[in-house]
Amino acid sequence: MTLALNNCLDAEFQDRHGQAQVFIANDSPAYPFVYRPRCVIISEGTRVRFAAIPDFGMHPLYGGLVNDGQATIDPNSPIGSFTSGTEGERMLIESGEFPYFCDFHFAAGMMGSIRVIPQLFADGFD
Task: Give the CATH number of the domain where residue 36 resides.
Answer: 2.60.40.420
Does the residue 50 lie in any domain? yes
How would you label 57-93 residue by residue, b for 16+ Cβ within 10 Å and e otherwise?
Answer: eebbbbbbbbeeeebeeeeebbbebbeeeeebebebe
- The DSSP line for 3-50 is B-GGG-BGGG-EE-TT-SEEEEE---TT-TTS-BSSEEEEETTEEEEE
Does the residue 123 lie in any domain? no
Residue pLDDT, tens place only, 49-62: 999 999 999 999 99
Does the residue 81 lie in any domain? yes
d(CA 115, CA 120): 15
What pLDDT shows up at residue 38? 96
Domain limits at 32?
5-115
Does the residue 24 lie in any domain? yes
Q: How many domains does the chain have?
A: 1
The mean predicted confidence, pLDDT, of the chain is 92
Does the residue 124 lie in any domain? no
Does the residue 126 lie in any domain? no
Nearest Cα neighbor of 55 from 6, 100, 88 is 88
Does the residue 102 lie in any domain? yes
Does the residue 122 lie in any domain? no
pLDDT at 18 over 90: yes
The band of 29, judged by pLDDT with boundaries at 50, 70 and 90, is confident
